[in-house]
Amino acid sequence: MPELAVVIVNRNGKDALVRCLESIRESTQAKDREVIVADNASDDGSPDVIARSFPEFRLIRTGGNLGFARANNMAWKQTGAPFVLFLNPDTVVRPGSLELLMEEMKRDPKAGACGPLLVREGDKPQVSFGGRVNFFRELLQRSLLNPYYRVRLRSRCRPREVTWVSGACLLARREAVEQAAGFDEGFFLYFEDIDLCVRMAVRGWKVLFLPQARVFHKGGAATRQFAPSRLEYRKSQLRFYKKHNSRTSLRLLRLYLRLSFFLHGLKNVVKKKRTPDLGRFRQLLKDPETRP
């Protein structure tokens, strides 16, 4: 049995997916890993390309647009590998990066998940890790920490224990994923990776960030195929807050969103633009699943 299973959820990302699969083929030995692509009802020819150009990789047709969490669960449960790499199709794995991640996980038996440094064009770092997610921490992260880390990661990078790493490239110990019962399928898109890391940590597993391992990530290319992604982001954010934060933090987020939706609608009125999604956002705040 291969030591590593690579799981990729795809929807209409054919061109990026081909580059991703080629990088996996070139950077890893076939005997050491298996690759599973869960295709969420793509209509761009992705399944045909996988079957024709990558016959050694497994293709699962999910039968619909199931989102990331559900499709990932469907795929990783069909493998018995002790380590599972959850990977976005808009990534390119650099040679040696997976080996570094695997070595780090093996070095610490309590490591449940480990993520690399994600970079964009020109090796510009993405902030693909973070601490606890709540209302005030998110404000701090967006206003100060993200700009700080983007500069710091260019020059000084050290491994560290964190609260979460990005699901764009997340290496997990199978045992830890099983104990956490996999991804919460209540998240269609966004926050499912942070939620998984938090539930691993509750069960005593460490989440590690290893910047020595680098993976190219285009960023947003995968999630844009699951439109309307902006609405899904807020829906998942509210769900995450309700699961893991205080009622006060959730109320502050809802207050912020009400103000944000109002200002967005007002701006469009001034510009004489339609706001087709505004009603859906308002309905989202009335949903019992997102209320304190």
- Cα distance between residue 84 and residue 26, in whole Å: 18
Q: Residues 124, 132, 223, 23: what is their CA dihedral angle, to the nearest 10 degrees?
A: 50
Q: Which amino acid is at 126?
A: Q
Q: Which amino acid is at 137?
A: R
Distances (CA, A) of 43 to 47, 48, 224, 244: 9, 10, 15, 36
Measuring CA to CA, which residue among 15, 261, 178 is closest to residue 269? 261
- Cα distance between residue 283 and residue 117, in whole Å: 37
**Residue whose structure tokens are 């480990």:** 114
- Based on the fold, state whether residues 217 and 268 are members of the same structural domain: no
Contacts of residue 5, Cβ cutoff 8 Å, sequence gap at least 6: 33, 34, 35, 36, 76, 79, 81, 83, 84, 85
- Based on the fold, state whether residues 28 and 131 are members of the same structural domain: yes
In which element (H, E) is residue 8 found?
strand 4-10
- Based on the fold, state whether residues 28 and 101 are members of the same structural domain: yes
Whichever domain contains 208, its CATH number is 3.90.550.10
Q: Give mean pLDDT, residues 211-225.
A: 79
pLDDT for 67: 93
What confidence category does residue 224 fall into, taking pLDDT thresholds of 50, 70 and 90? Answer: low
- Based on the fold, state whether residues 74 and 162 are members of the same structural domain: yes
Domain count, the chain: 2
Is the Cβ–Cβ distance between 32 and 64 less than 8 Å? no
Phi, psi of 212, rounded to the nearest 5 degrees: -65, -25
Q: Is the peptide bond before 116 cis (omega within 30 degrees of 0)?
A: no
In which element (H, E) is residue 216 found?
strand 206-217
In the predicted structure, residue 24 carries a pLDDT above the cut 70: yes
- Based on the fold, state whether residues 213 and 253 are members of the same structural domain: no
Q: Give mean pLDDT, residues 102-112.
A: 97
Residue 83 CA, distance from chain mean position? 17
- Based on the fold, state whether residues 135 and 262 are members of the same structural domain: no
Expressed as residue numbers, the domain containing 30 is: 4-221
Q: What is the mean pLDDT of the chain?
A: 90
**Residue whose structure tokens are 């998940």:** 113
- Summarised one tens digit per residue, pLDDT across range 47-69 is 999 999 999 999 999 999 999 99
Q: Give mean pLDDT, residues 171-186.
A: 98
Q: Give mean pLDDT, residues 114-120.
A: 96
- Cα distance between residue 167 and residue 68, in whole Å: 10
- Based on the fold, state whether residues 166 and 272 are members of the same structural domain: no
What confidence category does residue 269 fall into, taking pLDDT thresholds of 50, 70 and 90? Answer: low
Q: Give mean pLDDT, residues 263-284.
A: 72
- On whether residue 228 sits in a domain, the answer given is no
pLDDT for 287: 81
- Cα distance between residue 112 and residue 19, in whole Å: 28
- On whether residue 186 sits in a domain, the answer given is yes
- Look at residues 185, 205, 221 and tell me which one is the last residue of a structural domain: 221
- On whether residue 233 sits in a domain, the answer given is no
Above pLDDT 70, what percent of the chain? 93
pLDDT for 260: 84
Contacts of residue 273, Cβ cutoff 8 Å, sequence gap at least 6: none
pLDDT for 152: 77
Measuring CA to CA, which residue among 35, 92, 107, 129 is closest to residue 214? 92
- Based on the fold, state whether residues 99 and 35 are members of the same structural domain: yes
Neighbours of 201 (CB within 10 A): 20
- Based on the fold, state whether residues 136 and 266 are members of the same structural domain: no
Is the Cβ–Cβ distance between 157 and 68 less than 8 Å? no
- On whether residue 236 sits in a domain, the answer given is no
pLDDT for 292: 78
- Based on the fold, state whether residues 107 and 250 are members of the same structural domain: no
- Based on the fold, state whether residues 55 and 187 are members of the same structural domain: yes
- On whether residue 237 sits in a domain, the answer given is no
